[in-house]
């Protein structure tokens, strides 16, 4: 069933476009879209990068705005943003679930003129002690360093996003580049409500391994290594980890 539309009347500045990039996400997408609670005037846009499973069919149960795009999260999100009519853009990963009051929390904080965007607090499902520690560290970094990542459901004013040229057309860490740019134009809000992101990649590759790998990749990024090179390292390391899992 599609997400229910509430009867609240929104002003133009309160309307939110929720943009979800997908690629073979049939296992996660139903729960994700079921947690998107739109008000009248909001919209849901799904941008698919060439899924070969039932992702597109599932998405069409929730919204008529299902687009096709060349694969690549940045390209897909930019395609959705070009179609969007809401004054606020919310970029939601296909395995991330919004809290029930998530859109209203965004509307409230974006009434402050100094806020240009923001993100939610992070939690993982299924919960585990190790993933709680990872989420704690992520939220600490986001709060103190004002550096949330894409799996925390980034939101931004549409006009500013367009003026900045959208996401950089890079194969990796497009969320970090956007956040760095946004911080030069105003304040980012970190909402107290949590989004719940799947811990599947952490659990599949191992929490310790994934933590070390991610920290190494971020260190490389801040040392000037190109996103294309980092993406290649990321893919190579994921394939190595998968082979190790198969050999156990």
Residue-wise pLDDT tens digits, 153-170:
999 999 999 999 999 988
53: which DSSP letter? S
Which residues have CB under 8 Å from 67's CB, separation 6+?
Answer: 45, 46, 47, 48, 79, 80, 83
For helices 207-222 and 129-145, angle between their N-to-C axes, nearest 10 degrees: 20
Using the predicted structure, report yes or no on whether residue 35 has a pLDDT greater than 70: yes
6: which DSSP letter? B
Predicted confidence at residue 205, as pLDDT, reads 75
Give the mean model confidence (pLDDT) for residues 211-233. Answer: 74
Predicted confidence at residue 216, as pLDDT, reads 80
For helices 174-182 and 73-83, angle between their N-to-C axes, nearest 10 degrees: 50
Round the average pLDDT of the chain to a whole number and report it.
Answer: 88
Half-sphere exposure of 35 (CA within 13 A, CB side): 22
Give the mean model confidence (pLDDT) for residues 206-219. Answer: 75
Using the predicted structure, report yes or no on whether residue 5 has a pLDDT greater than 70: no
Predicted confidence at residue 3, as pLDDT, reads 56
Element (H, E) at 106: helix 102-109
Give the mean model confidence (pLDDT) for residues 179-199. Answer: 95
CATH no. of 12-198: 3.90.550.10
From CA 9, how far away is CA 15, in angstroms rounded? Answer: 10
Torsion over CA: 70, 66, 194, 143 (sign): positive
From CA 42, how far away is CA 6, in angstroms rounded? Answer: 10
Q: What is the pLDDT of residues 230-247, one digit of tens each?
A: 777 666 554 444 444 433
- Token digits for 212? 């070390």
More confident position, 233 or 73: 73
CB < 8 Å & 24+ apart, contacts of 109-112: 109/189, 109/191, 110/13, 110/14, 110/155, 110/157, 110/189, 112/189
Quickly tell me which residue has 């739109």 as its tokens: 38
CA angle at residue 92 from 90 to 97, to 5 degrees?
A: 120
Give me the residue spans of the domains in the chain.
12-198, 201-248
């Amino acid at each position: 069933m599609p997400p229910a539309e509430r009867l609240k009347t929104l002003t133009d500045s309160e309307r939110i476009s929720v943009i979800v990039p997908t690629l073979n996400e049939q296992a996660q997408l139903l729960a994700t879209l079921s947690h998107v609670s739109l008000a009248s005037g909001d919209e849901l846009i799904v941008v698919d990068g060439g899924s070969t499973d039932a992702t597109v069919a599932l998405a069409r149960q929730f919204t008529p705005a299902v687009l096709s795009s060349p694969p690549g999260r940045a390209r897909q999100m930019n395609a959705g943003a070009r179609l969007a009519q809401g004054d606020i853009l919310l970029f939601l990963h296909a395995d991330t679930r919004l809290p029930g009051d998530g859109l209203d929390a965004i509307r409230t904080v974006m009434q402050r003129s100094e806020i240009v965007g923001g993100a939610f607090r992070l939690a993982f499902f299924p919960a585990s002690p190790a993933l709680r520690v990872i989420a704690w560290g992520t939220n600490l970094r986001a709060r103190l360093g004002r550096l949330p990542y894409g799996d925390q459901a980034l939101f931004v004013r549409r006009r500013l996003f367009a003026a900045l040229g959208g996401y950089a057309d890079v194969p990796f860490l497009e969320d970090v580049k956007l956040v760095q740019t946004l911080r030069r134009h105003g304040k980012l809000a970190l909402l107290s409500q949590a989004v719940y992101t799947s811990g599947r990649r952490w659990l599949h590759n191992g929490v310790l391994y994934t933590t070390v790998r991610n920290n190494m990749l971020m260190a490389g990024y801040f040392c000037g290594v190109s996103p294309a090179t980092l993406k290649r390292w990321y893919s190579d390391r994921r394939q190595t980890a998968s082979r190790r899992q198969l050999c156990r």
